[in-house]
Amino acid sequence: MKPNYRRCISCRKVNPKQEFWRIVRVFPSGQVQLDQGMGRSAYICPQLNCLQAAQKKNRLGRALHASVPEALYQTLWQRLAQSNSQNQT
């Protein structure tokens, strides 16, 4: 089976979807959450510059056609900090 490719909403790089974080606007509630659920999805690279640009320019909100709560961005920043600390070890 061939791999599924996705595009980062920030840097537009194409990679296998396992290399991205998935943000979902759940159907039918419209709630925006991380990694799980069925509905409209957006993918973002787990990198500092991609996350900064996505938050500054509201790229997640535009891709999902919904407002993205600040708590979700905080979760993404925490996940980025954890992945960076694991990579340095």
Q: Return the CATH number at 79.
A: 3.30.1230.10
The total of other beta-carbon atoms located within 10 Å of residue 27's CB is 11
Can you tell me the distance from the alpha carbon of 21 to that of 58, in angstroms, rounded to the nearest whole number?
16
Nearest CA to 77 out of 3, 21, 38 is that of 21
pTM value? 0.89
Confidence of residue 89 (pLDDT cuts 50, 70, 90): low
Across residues 28-57, what is the average pLDDT? 93
Phi and psi at 16, nearest 5°, equal -60, 145
Mean pLDDT over the full length of the chain: 92
Number of domains in the chain: 1
Single-letter residue type at 9: I
Query: What integer is the mean pLDDT of 52-69?
Result: 94
Instruction: Flag whether pLDDT at 33 surpasses 90.
Output: yes
Sign of CA dihedral 29, 9, 82, 68: negative
**Residues spanned by the domain of 47:** 5-88
Would you say residue 35 has pLDDT above 70?
A: yes
